[in-house]
Structure 1
Amino acid sequence: MTPRRHYLIAGLLAFGGVVCLLLAVVVAKNITSHIDDTYQRVELAAGGKNYRCTGDPAQVADDLAAYKSPQARQADRGTEYLRYDDDIVTVGPLGGEPCVVHVEGLNAGYRGGAFVFLGPGFFPGAPSGGAGGSGGGPGGTK
């Protein structure tokens, strides 16, 4: 083969790699973007983002888990907890609303708390403010 042909093949491979990378970025499922696109944002509590949902919190959590599988999932007293790479998503009652999706980043002021009682996959995943005695999720529960 000639050097010109090698350059052509290398160029085509590089182009194919860039196309694959762009497709991966476009196709990658992002739970926070999905929640932002699907639910109406409401201001109910400081820290994180809150979205109004309708129906049973367990069914809403099932819908979110069907969109993107969480690393860990647990329920406690009517609140569903889903742990993703960078976020804890809780679904349950908050501020008089029967169903609220609450999204908080794991790195948002982490102070050493944990959802230890929720089992594997929830450490070090405490929302910010969770270690100081304040509630980290809907309903003020952690």
Structure 2
Amino acid sequence: MSAKTARTLGIIFLFLAVLCLIMALVSKPPVENRIAQTWSNGSCAGETGVADRIAAMERPSERATDPATGDTYLRYPKKLVIISGEGTPDCRITVEGLDRVNSGAFIWLGPGFVPSAPSNSSGGSSGSGGGVK
């Protein structure tokens, strides 16, 4: 390898390293880290507007409210944030993985909170005895 080629490669790698450093400094931490920094132990006792403040930190892909309990659910790419009892002394923020969402536990929340059916699915079982619909 000639000195000119090595110098060119060095400049390219240096540029890429600086670019990666800038991207790392500019990128935001995950929403669950920002929630933990703002509300210790997930307690938002007596606060109002908590769901709006979390949504302002990072826009959720879906948002829904349980009409029976008033709990607010914010769906992010890898997490589900649940705000329970907002405005009361029992206000809690829970962050969990999407396992329960993907298993259908929150099917009543609507389209953004249930996994979509495969495009080739007919939406039911194939019947007994291994038959085909």
TM interval, short-chain normalised: 0.5 to 0.7
| Superposition CA RMSD, Å | 2.6
> 5 Å matches for 1:56-75?
56=48, 59-75=49-65
Report the AA paired with residue 62 of structure 1: D
1:16–1:31 CA distance, 2 compared to 1 (3 A): same
State how many pairs are aligned: 110
Q: Structure 1 regions of 5+ residues with no counterpart?
A: 42-50, 125-142
SS of the residue corresponding to residue 121 of structure 1 reads helix
| Counterpart position of 1:17 | 16
- Residue 22 of structure 1 and its aligned partner are, at CA, apart by 3.1
1:79–1:16 CA distance, 2 compared to 1 (3 A): same
| Counterpart position of 1:121 | 112
d(CA) in 1 for partners of 2:23 and 2:111? 29
TM-score (structure 1 length as normaliser): 0.64
d(CA) in 2 for partners of 1:11 and 1:116? 54
Q: Structure 2 regions of 5+ residues with no counterpart?
A: 116-133
Percent identity over the alignment is 33
TM-score (structure 2 length as normaliser): 0.68
For the pair shown, the structure with the greater C-alpha radius of gyration is: 2
| Counterpart position of 1:55 | 47
- Residue 64 of structure 1 and its aligned partner are, at CA, apart by 0.9
Report the AA paired with residue 71 of structure 2: T
Whether the 8 Å CA contact 1:88–1:104 is kept in 2: the answer is yes
Whether the 8 Å CA contact 1:72–1:121 is kept in 2: the answer is yes
d(CA) in 1 for partners of 2:89 and 2:105? 25
| Counterpart position of 1:38 | 38
Q: Whose strand fraction is larger, Structure 1's or Structure 2's?
A: 1
| Counterpart position of 1:105 | 97
SS of the residue corresponding to residue 85 of structure 2 reads strand
| Counterpart position of 1:133 | none
| Counterpart position of 1:47 | none
